[in-house]
Amino acid sequence: MTLGAEIFNSENLMPLDPQAQQLLEQLASAGAPPLHTLSPVEARQATSTMFRVPPEKEEPVARIENRTIPGPAGAIPVRVYTPSGSGPFPVLVYIHGGGWVICDLDTHDAACRSLTNRAGCVTVSVDYRLAPEHKFPAAVEDSYAATLWVAEHAAEFNGDPARVAVGGDSAGGNLAAVVALMARDRGKPNLCFQLLVYPATDGSLSTESMRAFKEYFLTPELVRYFWHHYMRSDADRKDPLASPAMAGNFKGLAPALIITAEFDPLRDEGEAYAEKLRAAGVPVTVTRYNGMIHGFFTMADVLDQGKKAVAESAAALKKAFSRS
């Protein structure tokens, strides 16, 4: 499809995926209050089990280690997933979503297990500081520091420092894109790929998809809630470290796969970011999953298109790692 030039038209939408529809109906029937009406602590409690796979359904991984690494404001918890094999393995630094406010290592455990096995890489999942206790740019600083540490200490966990990628979903996709910008501008680490799953890229919140999709899991009210808690002030929304789409230069960035969901307020800004990368000569693939809602990537246990997106991501990572 042609990105950036597409005119939004609700008549062009595919039907909502039946599995996504069923999931939305289940969530509605639960009668829980909307997340944007809760305090951050309450929102974390309400979503702490939403993305978790029951222990009996956890995908086995050769090795998992919880550890801490140095950060700009103290230790950063990380979880290191190692696949089967002898290594040294390529490395994916994975930054979880959750609007910079909610979610943690556990909520994204299933996705990290799947990517580790399918891409044949060590995955280092980063538990960055959350807002509003730690406003912008705390999450950025932690994410970049963790990525740099991983590249410099890859040998400690049988990783290959010459094959390091960064990735994340939603707010994690935002942070992954920002880390890629910082890595280019600061000259390190040398990233071979960026995996951006329905990333938040533009704090102006002015796209057509933001205005159109008001009832599909992630709502515009919830997006504004997350940005409100993350920012120190509205002026921060124009900072490229908060809104990577506002960076002045996109040349020389790591190749990217950008995944979007059709019924997602963040859809248009993710696809517009892909256009900015492509216009700057950055190799980029963008895949829109029709009929899907925000969050489907981390709900692959109940959404078949989530499984497909994880498989596509792993294949893209393997290809990037083989070229590095």
Asked whether the CA dihedral 227, 75, 111, 47 is positive or negative, the reply is negative
Angstrom distance (rounded) from CA 134 to CA 46: 20
Angstrom distance (rounded) from CA 109 to CA 182: 26
Pairing between strand 191-197 and 256-263? parallel
Q: Which pLDDT score, from 0 to 100, does residue 10 have?
A: 53
Pairing between strand 76-82 and 89-95? unpaired
Which among 125, 202, 294, 313 is annotated as catalytic? 294
User: For residue 74, which phi and psi values (nearest 5 degrees)?
Assistant: 125, -175
Q: Which pLDDT score, from 0 to 100, does residue 6 have?
A: 43
Q: Cβ of 287: how many Cβ atoms within 10 Å?
A: 17
Name the pTM for this structure.
0.96
Q: How confident is the model at residue 57 (pLDDT cuts 50, 70, 90)?
A: confident
Give the DSSP H or E segment for 323.
Answer: helix 304-323
Contact between residue 146 and residue 128 where contact means Cβ atoms under 8 Å apart: yes
Contact between residue 243 and residue 202 where contact means Cβ atoms under 8 Å apart: yes
Sheet order of strands, 256-263 included:
63-69, 76-82, 122-126, 89-95, 159-169, 191-197, 256-263, 284-293
Name the token pair of 250.
Answer: 């996109």
Residue 264 appears among annotated catalytic residues:
yes
Angstrom distance (rounded) from CA 292 to CA 218: 12
Reference 17, options 262, 269, 311; nearest CA is: 262
Mean pLDDT for the chain overall: 95
Residue 39 appears among annotated catalytic residues:
no
Q: Which pLDDT score, from 0 to 100, does residue 54 have?
A: 83
- 229-249 pLDDT, tens per residue? 999 999 999 999 999 999 999
Q: What is the mean pLDDT of residues 143-167?
A: 98
Which among 127, 160, 264, 268 is annotated as catalytic? 264
- Is residue 5 pLDDT above 50, yes or no? no
- 166-223 pLDDT, tens per residue? 999 999 999 999 999 999 999 999 999 999 999 999 999 999 999 999 999 999 999 9
DSSP 171-223: HHHHHHHHHHHHHHHHT-S-EEEEEEES----TT--SHHHHH--SSSS-HHHH
Residue 294 appears among annotated catalytic residues:
yes
Which among 170, 209, 243, 313 is annotated as catalytic? 170
Q: Cβ of 108: how many Cβ atoms within 10 Å?
A: 28
Name the token pair of 214.
Answer: 């008001």
Q: What is the mean pLDDT of residues 60-65?
A: 98
- Is residue 4 pLDDT above 70, yes or no? no
The half-sphere exposure of 28 on its side-chain side, counting CA atoms within 13 A, is: 10
Domains of the chain are 34-323 (3.40.50.1820)
- 66-116 pLDDT, tens per residue? 999 999 999 999 999 999 999 999 999 999 999 999 999 999 999 999 999
Reference 230, options 178, 294, 181, 191; nearest CA is: 178
